[in-house]
Amino acid sequence: MRKSAGKASGELRNSTGLVGRATIVDVAQKAGVSVATVSRVVNGNYPVRECTRKKVQEAIGELRYVPNIQARELNTRHSSSVGVVVPSFYNMYFAEIVDGIEEMLHRNGFSMLLTCMQNNAVLERECVRNLVSRNVSGIILASPDTENVGAEFYDLTSRQVPLVFVNSPLSISNASHVSNDEHAGMILALEHLYDIGHRRILLVCGDNGGAYLMKKMAYREFMDSRGLYTEENIINIGDGNSIDAAERTERLLEGRLGDPSSATAACCCNDVMACGVLNAARHAGLSVPEQFSVTGFDNTPLSRYVDPEITTVDQNMAKLGHVAVKLLLEKIETGKDRNVVLENHLVMRKSTGFLS
Amino acid sequence: MRKSAGKASGELRNSTGLVGRATIVDVAQKAGVSVATVSRVVNGNYPVRECTRKKVQEAIGELRYVPNIQARELNTRHSSSVGVVVPSFYNMYFAEIVDGIEEMLHRNGFSMLLTCMQNNAVLERECVRNLVSRNVSGIILASPDTENVGAEFYDLTSRQVPLVFVNSPLSISNASHVSNDEHAGMILALEHLYDIGHRRILLVCGDNGGAYLMKKMAYREFMDSRGLYTEENIINIGDGNSIDAAERTERLLEGRLGDPSSATAACCCNDVMACGVLNAARHAGLSVPEQFSVTGFDNTPLSRYVDPEITTVDQNMAKLGHVAVKLLLEKIETGKDRNVVLENHLVMRKSTGFLS
DNA sequence: CTGAAAGCGCTAACAT
DNA sequence: ATGTTAGCGCTTTCAG
């Protein structure tokens, strides 16, 4: 006698009050056909006579049968889930990338296993191993830890499972990469400020992650070539993604704003910092953009919420997510990897203007 | 001959350049033991002689063996992944809940399958079915669609898989629930405004979701009992979670601010709206909080980024996520469901003050 | 302490 | 068009 006899009529399982899930065997029995036939109507990949199909579908309905994807994938050695690893959901920047990834995955019939490494290199490795263990067909990593990227960890992992890096500071062999050209984006912002007359321009940046380095380089390059570079115009606010980044920015700018010899503009490495600058300017009695200009970076919603709306560099996070998925699917199918660099655009808003 | 002979030395698979993952059989062969023994050292659940263990562990290391959790769980009929369904990641509110959920799941050895229903009831049902199909051991749903909650869908689903609802407008039989007492939170904000002298208080709300209804009721109740209620003081800005909610708020408040007979404060249903009010006030030449007070709701980072920082009602999203997971684990283990209502707290900041 | 073998739910030959 | 059956990789009795 089968263990699941009478299941449809409400047999309970394991004392948790749940009805045991019907299996393909239950459906086959109820419909009076073989499991193979049930499989065929579920997957629609082989011909089945109309009246048989009907019987099976009825049984499926009555039993509320849902195929067990784990079993299917164990059998076919396919996997329709992919792993995604992000440093934090706390930052809108990553939230939007994840949004883009999920949308594209869903559109392609994949599910997303999402883990958060909390800016912790050890945890990051654990996350990746766990995902491999769960048999994902690939992994997307957003802003991975420099330490891991530098070590052999990802070089080894990339031989086991398709990997796509989003905004990785370094390039990994045998993996695909997508990133924004943050160097060019920075130049865009600086050129804009320069064009509208600013010469003494602060750089507000953080100290974690490879992106800040790249932006700092762009700044130095741009300013140097115009004989405008001074190291003291670089303001490092520490962790640029934490909740109090805006406040720290504001505090660090106190006393640097307003007197005639000081800067007339600030170029920020993200929108939160730009917010902090906005607040500092207001407290210093400077009106933006008439007396002081500010640019942000990322084009998160925040840049539109505040007043004045912030001129910022759009990183198009949704697209970043979409491309990451596309590259992953490519790699899963063909094994080939590819590097894509997305262009940044300057989004002109109200926080920048000619000096009056 | 086994298909995987020589795998460790670099045999390639399926033309994608990946090394085939070693299985338990490979490890057993390499170590010269049975698969049962390998299983035992991997799981550490049965005694194994020290020297055997060592041999096995060496083989595991050399082969970079990672156990296949799908196979394990198929066998044990357990599952260490849970599904999470949210309306959108775009809203910091949900991002923080997800953050809390993921952290707690991780701490308990679970993985998170995250899907986004994009404010679409049909998609929501599809997501849930997909998760069941993937054999999750439970599902957490944040702010589910009222339509589905009202219909029999979740009543049926709750018999198949443990369900926990976060901020559900309705209660589902056989499922756990956790939510904030948004009614009480609203009263907190209103009392604060009232206490510091405000009588003509606007309510700024949206029109989607059950939470707005509850807040509207609280507002009506509070104002009515003091003879202060007028319907025209309720401002509905439409979709309160979309990217332009702040702008729409600002536009709708134009002309309603500044003249002596108009309101002196606005009580908003989320922080984004409060932001919009802040901007409207500034453009109307009103200084906050000296001439006009504003309260937000949620206590998202946004409320701290802007100037003045917004007095708001803390919804403690991280805790909401933690409790959701706790309730789910409880339900998985015992089958019992429970309803938890979290208290809200007023976070006093700079956007509210006595009328001067 | 270790091995052999059954079977989780499913798919895909291979028969019929 | 449909049924039979051999596994996918793993855990877990049951024997030794």
Q: Can you give the pLDDT at residue A258?
A: 79
Q: Is the pLDDT of residue A102 over 90?
A: yes
Helix, strand, coil share of chain B (percent; to 5):
45, 15, 40
Burial A49-85 (b: 16+ CB within 10 A, else e): eeebbebbbebbeebbbbbbbbbbbbeeeebbbbbbb
Q: Which two tokens stand for residue A258?
A: 């307003």
The pTM score is: 0.90
- Phi, psi dihedrals of residue A342, rounded to the nearest 5°: -90, 145
Residue type at position A46? Y
Asked if residue A243 has pLDDT above 90, the reply is no
Q: Looking at residue A145, what is its pLDDT?
A: 78
Residue the block writes with tokens 């199918």: A333
What pLDDT score was predicted for residue B16? 61
Residue-level pLDDT at B10: 31
Q: What is the mean pLDDT of residues B77-88?
A: 92
Q: What is the pLDDT of residue A345?
A: 96
What percent of chain B is predicted at pLDDT more than 70?
94
Percent of chain B with pLDDT over 90: 74
| d(C-alpha A102, C-alpha B112), whole Å | 13
pLDDT at A356 over 70: no
Q: B94-109: per-residue pLDDT in tens?
A: 999 999 999 999 999 9
User: How far is A27 from A145, CA to CA, in rounded Å?
Assistant: 48
Question: Is A9's pLDDT higher than 50?
Answer: no
Contacts with A217 (C-beta within 8 Å, 6 or more apart), sequence order: A183
SS3 content of chain A, % helix, strand, coil (to 5): 45, 15, 40
Is it the case that residue A309 has pLDDT exceeding 50? yes
Angle at A266 between CA A260 and CA A268, to 5 degrees: 165
Residue B102 in contact with residue A114, Cβ under 8 Å?
Answer: yes
CB A60 within 8 Å of CB A282: no
Which nucleotide comes closest to B23 if you measure CA to C1'? D9
Distance of CA A215 to the CA centre of its chain: 20
CA distances from B144 to A200, A355, B100, B126, B193 (A): 51, 50, 18, 13, 31
Strand order in the sheet with B201-205: B234-236, B201-205, B265-268, B293-295
Nucleotide with C1' nearest the B49 CA: C1
Per-residue pLDDT tens over the stretch B236-263:
999 887 888 899 999 999 888 878 788 9
Q: What is the mean pLDDT of chain B?
A: 90
Residue A11 to residues A23, A63, A260, B174, Cα–Cα distance (Å):
14, 12, 82, 16
Taking the C-alpha atoms of residue A28 and residue A38, their distance in angstroms, rounded to an integer, is 6
Q: Whose CA is closest to B113, among A55, A111, A277?
A: A111
- Who's near B104: CB < 8 A, 6+ residues apart? B321, B322, B325, B326
Q: What pLDDT is recorded for position B90? A: 75
- Identify whether the C-beta of residue B310 lies closer than 8 Å to the C-beta of residue B275: yes
- Average pLDDT over chain A reads 90
More confident residue, B13 or B258: B258
Q: How confident is the model at residue A4 (pLDDT cuts 50, 70, 90)?
A: very low
CB atoms A129 and B96 under 8 Å? no
Q: Which helix (H) or strand (E) holds B303?
A: helix B302-305
Note the CA–C1' distance, A49 to C16, in angstroms: 17
Q: Is the CB of B71 under 7 A from strand D?
A: yes
- The answer to whether A301 touches A330, Cβ cutoff 8 Å, is no
* Nucleotide with smallest C1' distance to residue A51 CA: D1
Q: Looking at the complex, report in whole angstroms how far the Cα of residue B158 sits from the nearest Cα belonging to chain A.
A: 8
pLDDT of residue B9: 31
Nearest CA in chain A to B138: A18
With a CB cutoff of 8 Å and minimum separation 6, the contacts of B51 are none
Q: Where are the beta strands (DSSP E) in B168-304?
A: 176-180, 201-205, 234-236, 265-268, 293-295
- Detail the protein residues whose CB sits closer than 7 A to any atom belonging to strand C: A 3, 23-25, 35-36, 39, 42-43, 45, 65, 67-68, 71-72, 74-76; B 32-37, 40, 46-49, 51-53, 71, 74-75, 77
> For the segment A198-230, what is each residue's pLDDT rounded down to a tens digit?
999 999 999 876 678 899 999 999 999 999 999
Measured N-to-C along each axis, helices A35-43 and A50-63 cross at an angle, to the nearest 10 degrees, of 90
Distance CA B148, CA A320 (A): 32
Asked whether A154 and A172 are in contact (CB, 8 A), the reply is yes
Each residue's pLDDT tens digit, A124-179: 999 999 999 999 999 999 988 777 777 788 998 998 899 999 998 888 999 999 99
Q: Is the pLDDT of residue B6 over 60?
A: no
**Are the Cβ atoms of B92 and A88 closer than 8 angstroms?**
no
Q: Is the pLDDT of residue B42 over 70?
A: yes
Q: Which residue has the higher pLDDT, A347 or B88?
A: A347
Tell me what pLDDT residue A17 has.
Answer: 66
Report pLDDT for A147: 77
Task: Label residue A256 by pLDDT band (50, 70, 90).
Answer: confident
Tell me if residue A230 falls in helix, strand or coil. coil
Does pLDDT of A74 surpass 50? yes
What was the pLDDT predicted at B5?
Answer: 36
Q: What is the reported pLDDT for A12? A: 34
pLDDT, position B207? 83
Pick A70's closest partner by Cβ from B16, B18, B134: B134
Q: Which of A86-90, A243-247, B193-197 comes out lowest in average pLDDT?
A: A86-90
* Per-residue pLDDT tens over the stretch B252-302: 998 888 787 889 999 999 999 999 999 999 999 999 999 999 999 999 999
Percent of chain A scoring above 70 in pLDDT: 94
Query: Cβ of A244 and B90 within 8 Å?
Result: no
Span CA (B53) to C1' (C5), Å: 22
Per-residue pLDDT reduced to its tens digit, B186-215: 999 999 999 999 999 999 999 876 678 899
Angstroms from B169 CA to nearest CA on chain A: 24
